[in-house]
């Protein structure tokens, strides 16, 4: 976030899933036993929240990928009209509003208060009827298991201490036969180059420190999380970024950004 932030981990020093990466100086295991949240991550998003809907801001990549991921979700889920959808880690509501505009009945949950407030204010202005709640996915899953036709969890898993637990909560939220979409970033030297060096240091699309290499997730790891949560992986699609046209496009290459579509 600022010049004092440590440099991201180089690709070869992946500390594995048990490094000391939790908030408040705890180990990852301690954090995940209590709550599956890293307060430092929430603070990063809260500090920038007022710029969430500015398409030239730090959130530009989310704005640029939104039409592409929306179309993909609609196609794989067979349309959104009338469907009950929960957007887990909805932030300022870029995807939540777009899904509501396509006829979905959307609930948006996040654990950062400021982005959620921005989402609520924006929905008031745009007239979108979205049920926003400050609530962990695990809690909503306990309250409303199987209540949603579609669950979306985009650009969140790489920010939580225990992504397998978030995947399991998403699996609990969706109804049998329903769809769950996870978008995250692959972990390999090329994703380090593009998603961290390229995006944060060269193109400066994102503030430095937005992403931590060790938290990136390989599709095989995500597939394993999904399988243990009772979800079947149906589709893996990449999202490639062209810095010249500043456009994202769906692609077969899942080497950097990708979307996993699962079915219960």
Q: Which one of 10-18, 105-113, 202-210, 244-252 is the stretch in contact with ligand SAH (CB under 6 A)?
A: 105-113
The count of other CB atoms within 10 Å of the CB of residue 251 is 16
Cβ contact 59:48 at 8 Å = yes
The number of C-alpha atoms within 13 Å of 12 and in the hemisphere containing its C-beta is: 0
Rounded Cα gap, residues 195 and 257, in angstroms: 8
Distance CA 205, CA 35 (A): 30
184 binds ligand SAH (CB under 6 A): no
Choose which of 159, 172, 179, 211 interacts with ligand SAH (CB under 6 A): 159
In the numeric block, the tokens 């046209």 are attached to 245
How many residues form the binding site for ligand SAH (CB under 6 A)?
21
From candidates 77, 80, 123, 160, binder to ligand SAH by CB under 6 A: 160
Among the listed residues 61, 91, 238, 255, the single contact to ligand SAH using CB under 6 A: 91
Distance CA 156, CA 131 (A): 19
The residue (of 112 and 231) whose beta carbon lies closer to ligand SAH is: 112
Q: Is 198 a binder of ligand SAH (CB under 6 A)?
A: no
Taken in order 111, 21, 34, 186, the sign of the CA dihedral is positive
Q: Min. distance of Cβ 87 from ligand SAH in angstroms?
A: 6
For residue 45, state whether it binds ligand SAH (rule: CB under 6 A).
Answer: yes
| DSSP structure string for 86-154 | EEET-TT-HHHHHHHHTT-EEEEEES-HHHHHHHHHHHHHHT---EEEE--HHHHHHHSTT-EEEEEEE
| 36 forms part of the interface with ligand SAH (CB under 6 A) | yes
Contact between 37 and ligand SAH (CB under 6 A)? yes
41 contributes a contact to ligand SAH by CB under 6 A: yes
Name the segment binding ligand SAH (CB under 6 A); options: 25-33, 124-132, 151-159, 187-195.
151-159
C-alpha 33/C-alpha 136 separation (Å) is 14
Helix (H) or strand (E) holding 165: helix 163-173
Residue nearest ligand SAH, CB atom distance: 91
- Identify the residue among 128, 154, 256, 261 touching ligand SAH (CB under 6 A): 154
> What angle separates helix 94-101 from helix 113-126, to the nearest 10 degrees?
30
Per CB under 6 A, which of residues 110..129 are in contact with ligand SAH?
Answer: 110-112, 115
Of positions 156, 180, 229, 259, contacts ligand SAH by CB under 6 A: 156
Q: Is 97 in the site for ligand SAH (CB under 6 A)?
A: no
Residue 155 is a binding residue for ligand SAH (CB under 6 A) = yes
Question: Applying CB under 6 A, does 165 fall inside the site for ligand SAH?
Answer: no
Q: Does residue 62 interact with ligand SAH by CB under 6 A?
A: yes
- Contact flag: residue 22 with ligand SAH (CB under 6 A): no
Between CA 108 and CA 131 the distance in angstroms is: 6
Q: Which residues pair with 190 in a beta bridge?
A: none
Question: Which residues contact ligand SAH (rule: CB under 6 A)?
Answer: 36-37, 41-42, 45, 62, 89-91, 94-95, 110-112, 115, 136, 154-156, 159-160
């Amino acid at each position: 976030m600022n010049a004092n932030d440590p440099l991201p981990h180089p690709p070869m020093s992946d500390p594995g899933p048990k490094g000391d990466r939790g908030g408040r100086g705890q180990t990852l295991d301690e954090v995940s036993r209590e709550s599956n949240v890293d307060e430092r991550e929430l603070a990063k998003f809260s500090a920038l929240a007022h710029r969430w809907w500015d398409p030239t801001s730090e959130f530009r990549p989310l704005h640029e990928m939104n039409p592409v991921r929306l179309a993909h979700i609609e196609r794989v889920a067979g349309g959104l009209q009338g469907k009950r959808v929960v957007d887990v880690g909805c932030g300022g509501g870029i995807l939540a509003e777009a899904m509501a505009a396509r006829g979905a009945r959307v609930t948006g949950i996040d654990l950062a208060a400021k982005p959620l407030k921005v989402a609520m204010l924006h929905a008031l202005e745009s007239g979108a009827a979205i049920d926003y709640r400050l609530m962990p996915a695990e809690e909503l899953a306990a309250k409303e298991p199987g209540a949603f036709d579609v669950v979306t969890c985009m650009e969140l898993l790489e920010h939580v201490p225990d992504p397998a637990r978030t995947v399991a909560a998403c699996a609990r939220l969706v109804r049998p036969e329903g769809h769950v979409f996870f978008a995250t970033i692959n972990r390999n030297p090329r994703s380090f180059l593009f998603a961290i060096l390229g995006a944060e240091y060269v193109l400066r699309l994102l503030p430095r420190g937005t992403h931590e290499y060790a938290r990136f997730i390989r599709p095989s790891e995500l597939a394993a999380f999904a399988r243990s949560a009772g979800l079947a992986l149906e589709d893996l699609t990449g999202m490639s970024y062209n810095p010249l046209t500043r456009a994202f496009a769906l692609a077969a290459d899942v080497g950097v950004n990708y979307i996993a579509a699962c079915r219960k």
